[in-house]
Structure 1
Amino acid sequence: MDINVEIKNLFLLNVLDCDYALALYIQGAESLELLSSTNNSLGVLNFKKEKVEKKRELMLPIESFGKVIGALQVKIPLKHELTERQSLILSELTQSLSPILRGGTDSRELTYNVEVYKWILEAKNMIPKIADWIGIYYKTEYLIEKKSEDLLLGPYIGESTEHVKIPISEGLCGLALREERVVNIEDVHSDERHIACSLKTKSELIIPLQNSYGDCIAELDIDSNLQAAFSKEIEEKMKDYCLTFPLK
């Protein structure tokens, strides 16, 4: 896997509906290090020789639990002002990149996070009309080898969420891993255990993920804006797919 190309194709292309260039940096020991960049009419951002056209440049920090772990550099034509929608897209992109870059410059961690993201993308494509948000919550000890009762948000697709850390004692996500069973809720608003990530969510499917020893180490969480979206047939299909979850 060429990780630079993978990141470019997954995250940096077809982002804005205007002429733009993006570069993704990861925090190294002493400074930001270029990880990947686009190559379009505005040029690759780390070219020593600038194009004649003047550009507006933004540097957006990427954070994880209050710590800067990278940055997204944006260049657009000087005459162009970002719309509110375009600014929101960039903000959402920086947040979705946070769990991808969490492992720092460790190439194995970065490659694994991208592999998991691609696995989630394939899962979403299996049920594209009902999966409005889909992502992974890990047990802390699996992700960072640190004892904790918290679940940590991994790669995801959909709107950003403030629930990047969830106590295993709380919510439907906590329930699925506490009891090590599938949780399929037809109407989340009628379930007092539900922790609302989005008011648009109406139903939820959570499937525990196991390592090679049969221990639950994470879960696939799928939210739908449709009520009772996850039939028994869909549940079984996604359970089978979860057997292919990539392990570290």
Structure 2
Amino acid sequence: MFTKSAYSEDLSASYTMLSKQLDALLTGETNTIANLSNASALLNQFYDQINWVGFYLIDEGELVLGPFQGLPACVRIPLSRGVCGKVASLEETIIVPDVHAFPGHIACDAATQSEIVLPILKDGQLLGVLDIDSPMINRFTEQDGKGLELFVQVLVKHL
């Protein structure tokens, strides 16, 4: 597990190892819900200083809550709202150092201070987003973004 102060030059290697662990964990399983559940659990164990990690999946033109670790969350998010909706619309990773400065942020958990959200794309089609929240301001870095993009690439092979 990594705290912001424990980041090292070897963070890239840690994300590579995490992605290999995910691949091994999901190999042979074809159930999407089971695979997303294990992926969220693995990320919850990997990170320190987070308060929510999980998935929102596209369903009839909006994001609907999928497997997650953390407090109960918003169930439906329009593609026009919040960080998750913006990521789904743009299909690119967004790191939000301070959620209170993000226009239209949806506060599912008042403790959340920063957030990283990544699109999940398979064969050019948006399946949903990976959302990770932290009770710390400025918790996520560009290195986290790149490492999580690798994680999502591996995940998509199993969806």
Report the TM-score range of the alignment, normalised by the length of the smaller protein.
0.7 to 0.9
Question: What whole-Å deviation, never above 9, does each CA across 1:28-85 have from its counterpart, x for those lacking one?
Answer: xxxxxxxxxxxxxxxxxxxxxxxxxxxxxxxxxxxxxxxxxxxxxxxxxxxxxxxxxx
Partner of 1:203: 114
CA contact (8 A) 1:204 1:230 kept: yes
Partner of 1:157: 69
Matches within 5 A, 1:16-55: none
- Provide the rounded CA distance (Å) in 2 between the counterparts of 1:200 and 1:241: 26
- Provide the rounded CA distance (Å) in 1 between the counterparts of 2:145 and 2:128: 17
Partner of 1:177: 88
In structure 1, what residue type is equivalent to 2:51?
Answer: D
What's the offset of the Cα at 1:112? Answer: 2.9
- Provide the rounded CA distance (Å) in 2 between the counterparts of 1:192 and 1:135: 22
CA RMSD of aligned residues (A): 1.7
Q: 1:239 and 2:149 equivalent? A: yes
Highest CA radius of gyration, 1 or 2? 1
Match of 1:139 among 43, 58, 82: 58
- Provide the rounded CA distance (Å) in 1 between the counterparts of 2:140 and 2:119: 16
What's the offset of the Cα at 1:124? Answer: 2.2
Deviation above 3 Å: which 4+ runs of structure 1?
none
Matches within 5 A, 1:13-92: none
Distance 1:130 1:239, change over 3 A: farther
- Provide the rounded CA distance (Å) in 2 between the counterparts of 1:152 and 1:198: 17
Greater fraction helix: 2
Partner of 1:118: 38
Partner of 1:191: 102
What's the offset of the Cα at 1:221? Answer: 0.3
- Using the size of structure 1 for normalisation, the TM-score is 0.50
Unaligned runs of 5+ in 1: 1-107, 141-147
- Using the size of structure 2 for normalisation, the TM-score is 0.76
- Provide the rounded CA distance (Å) in 2 between the counterparts of 1:139 and 1:214: 14
- Identity across matched positions, percent: 26
What's the offset of the Cα at 1:122? Answer: 1.3
- Provide the rounded CA distance (Å) in 2 between the counterparts of 1:208 and 1:178: 9
Unaligned runs of 5+ in 2: 1-28
- Provide the rounded CA distance (Å) in 1 between the counterparts of 2:128 and 2:49: 22
- Provide the rounded CA distance (Å) in 2 between the counterparts of 1:156 and 1:132: 11
Aligned length: 130
- Provide the rounded CA distance (Å) in 1 between the counterparts of 2:142 and 2:36: 25
Instruction: Look up the SS of the partner of 2:155 in the other structure.
Output: coil
Instruction: Look up the SS of the partner of 2:139 in the other structure.
Output: coil
